[in-house]
Amino acid sequence: MSTAPALLAISHGTSSPAGQAAVAALVDAVARRLPDVTVRLGHVDVQQPDVAASLDAIPEGTPVVIVPLLLSAGYHVRVDLIEQSAGRDGVVIAPALGPDPRLVDALLARLGPVGPDDAVVLAVAGSTDDRANEDCREIGRMLSARLDREVTVGFLAAADPRVDVAVAEAKTGDDRVVVADYLLAPGYFHDLAVRLAPGARVASPLLGDDEPPASLVDIVIDRYNEAAK
């Protein structure tokens, strides 16, 4: 029997079947890369199993590394995961997935070709914890450096500027606006981004109905390995 800690991947949770399938595919890809590790998927909100039920399904005495499938360290990482795992010994919570330059690789792959005159907006979920918002702004700075142009960060909730304001301010004259979608999977926030950016080309989230980006699988495994040391 393996003595390696179990990897419990915890997503935000979504009511979108497409989003659920995309996140499950990511965790399946991680499990294939770690054949000697018990890999499970749970959720901090919306879906079941929740964190407590997910931990209960792992045999008592097995150490567990929780890897948040969250792009920034907001309330769910700093408060919810700690509180919801408090009843179990041997649990380590790894850092959030971002900021990480490999996420910019995945963003660029989803964004596709960007014209020389295109204005770029980075759509992010937004958080009441500004440390999480700053994580997203850092991704915006990384994306700006990679594209060698200004990137405006627009928030879908909880912070300003909102995506619709960011898109309006980015558009000058006949320039096209393209929106990089810094969201893990399809769901409510992606649909909201599309609604708030009429006329703009909105890229797909990092995960879709295709094979999960290798860079994202790598990040999850790296978070696990670093926390399991």
Q: Where are the domains of the chain?
A: 6-97+212-228, 101-202
Strand ranges across the sheet with 64-69 = 39-43, 6-11, 64-69, 91-93
- Identify the residue whose tokens are 């200004």: 150
Give, rounded to a whole angstrom, the gap between the first and last alpha carbons of the chain: 19
In this predicted model, what pLDDT tens digit does every residue of 52-108 receive, in sequence order? 999 999 999 999 999 999 999 876 677 789 898 998 999 999 999 999 999 999 999
Distance between CA atoms of 42 and 12, rounded to whole angstroms? 9
Tell the CATH topology of 6-97+212-228: Rossmann fold (3.40.50)
Domain 101-202 has CATH 3.30.530.20: no
Lowest mean pLDDT among 20-29, 69-78, 115-124, 186-195: 69-78
99 preceded by a cis bond (ω within 30 of 0): yes
Distance between CA atoms of 57 and 28, rounded to whole angstroms? 17
3-state secondary structure of 220: helix
Domains 6-97+212-228 and 101-202 in one fold = yes
Distance between CA atoms of 31 and 198, rounded to whole angstroms? 39
pLDDT for 217: 98
35, pLDDT greater than 90: yes
Residue 32 structure tokens: 């294939």
141, pLDDT greater than 90: yes
pLDDT for 1: 45
pLDDT for 76: 63
